[in-house]
Structures are given as structure tokens and as C-alpha cells.
Amino acid sequence: MKINKKFRSLFMAFALGTALMTTVSSCSKDDDAPVVVSNTITDKVVADASFSILEKAVIKAGLDGTLKGAGPFTVFAPDDAAFAASGITSATIDALTANDLKAILLYHTIGSKILAADVPAGPNAKVVTAGGDSVFVTKNASGVYVNGIKVTAADIAADNGVIHKIGRVLNPPAGNIVETAVAAGLDSLVKAVTVATNAPGGDPTLAGTLSSAKLTVFAPTNQAFTDVLAALSLTDINQIPIGTLLAVLRYHVVGGRAFSSDLANGNLGMLAGGNTTINLTNGTGGGPTILGNGNGSNKSNIVATNVVCRNGVVHLIDRVLLP
């Protein structure tokens, strides 16, 4: 059957019009649908250019999906400047395994939402991380700190929690104070503690106390021990009288956890008695120093701070403190 040209033209026009109406109607429905904008912690990290190294670490560790989850989470987030200050680059992230990165990042993550206003005033409130270890949060007149590291921007809101930007990377504890000294290659300090623990007339409880009690240790570098031996015209730690060695070692220990955020200018009482003197700004490069009563004017630079151990904190110093 033939369809006349006029009818065929009308049919095609109707069909085209119907298709256009359907398309317009469909587009209108899509336009009316709400646009869902994801604003999770992962999204915040990805969107912030200052978190480029953190973003790389989160993705490599496989935690980007976790931090998109319901939460709530609190993340202490080092920005690129914090990674640089900690000696960590993008190449460092490449060299670490996913499991290593995951352990580090979970140490920065809390399984609840903690705003700056929620932190109690005072030092070192203990908070368990998503990795099972603890961080210690302080609020004082200068701000909020975690393990002695300052929060540089607080309360960055996300749909599934909150981000606090911090000035350095947090390192999970590697062991107790003695184990940390061994791992850090502080061979002279480890030898001094071993001699003072095991030698006749020594203190057989010393190593055990440093391994279990809640303490802060100002730990001299190997070069610091070399320098003090030279000043005493000695060549080996074994040559130091045992009573003197014990007194010197105990003079490097403070009771409890004392992060850099807990230190103030003035006297610092040591666990075994006597004071040292802290100055927060008169060291090399404007850093902190500690001065022993027997060191005259020869202050010690605190060259590394806030090394967290399972039973305390270690600060590295470049001179042996003399009582």
C-alpha cells in the first residue's frame, strides 16, 4: 500500500516531535534530580593541593575507600610542608610498602570525631588510634598538640568526620625506651645502661625501669659520649666509676611523658633529683636547649624531639648532661 507524500511528511514530523519531547522531558527530569557532592575525608584530602603526599600515601595504603566510609573519623593530617619537615618526600612514599604506610596512617586516625573544643585542657590526654596504639593530645595556651606536634589548622569538617592539619608526621612507637635506643643506633647510651645495670655496684633494676616505667629520657648521641670521654681523658664507658655513671644516667630522666609542648623556659626537675635548665629558643637555629648543673655554660642542643615509645618519650641531645 502506498502512503501519500503528505501523510508521510506529517507522520515523520509527529515522530520527530515526539522524540524531541521525550528527550526534553528526560533531560528535565535529570536536571531536577539532586546533585550529590561527596565531601568525605578522602575527598577533602584529594581536593586540597597541600595534601598531595598524604593523598599518595592514602591511596597506596588502600585507605582511600576506608576514609570515604561512614566513620566518624578524626585524622591528624600532615600537609606537604609537614612531610618535608619530617624528611619525607614523594620518593619515600614510593619506597615504603603498603603495609608500612597503612600502619603509619592508622596512627594518624581516630575512630571517632574529636573537635578541638572536645580536647580537655591540660597535657597528654591518651587517645587510642585506629591502629591500636595511643597518641597523646594536649591543649594549652598555645593551642592543641598531638604527641608534642602542633595542630596548625583545626576542625576541617567532612561528612564523615574531621581533619586537623599538623606540622609533622607522627611515628608509631617502635618499642619501649631501651628498644627505641637500640633501634635508633644509640650504641653508647645502650652500652652505658648495660654497664650501669650489670656491673658490680650498679643498679640491676635500671634497664628494666627504662623499659617499663612511664618516663622521658634526654638521650645523648654517640658523639656526645665520645666528647665527654675525651674531656675526662677516658677511652671507654667501662672506665667511668660506676657511681658516677649511674648518677649521670639518672640525671637524663624525667618522670612521666614530657613532650616538647610540655617544656617551658626555666628549671626542669629530674627524676633522681636536681634540676636542669630549659631554654626554648637559644639553641642552634633558634631551637631548644637543656643545661646540666655541672655543664657550666655548655648547653646541649635538643636536636630531635618527641620520639614516642611505648612507655614514654625520648628527646635526642648533643651533649651529656652533668649533675
Residue 288's pLDDT is 97
Query: CATH for 177-317?
Result: 2.30.180.10
- Alpha-carbon gap, residue 47 to 34, rounded angstroms: 22
CA-wise closest residue to 276 among 313, 246, 302: 302
For residue 165, what are the β-bridge partners?
77, 153
- pTM of the model as a whole: 0.85
**Rounded (10°) CA dihedral 287, 214, 138, 64:** 100
Greater confidence (31 vs 35) lies with 31
The full set of domain ranges for the chain reads 41-166, 177-317
pLDDT of residue 289 exceeding 50, the answer is yes
Q: Report, as an integer, the average pLDDT of 183-202.
A: 97
Question: What is the model's pLDDT at position 31?
Answer: 52
Q: Which of 71 and 220 is assigned the larger pLDDT?
A: 220
Averaged pLDDT for residues 167-176: 95
For strands 215-220 and 312-317, give the pairing. parallel
Instruction: Give the integer Cα–Cα distance in Å for 311 and 316.
Output: 16
Average pLDDT rounded to a whole number, residues 94-109: 97
Compute φ and ψ for 244, nearest 5 degrees.
-65, -45
- Check residue 38 and give its pLDDT: 80
One fold for both 41-166 and 177-317? yes
CATH of 41-166, one of 1.10.8.620, 3.40.640.10, 1.50.10.10, 2.30.180.10: 2.30.180.10
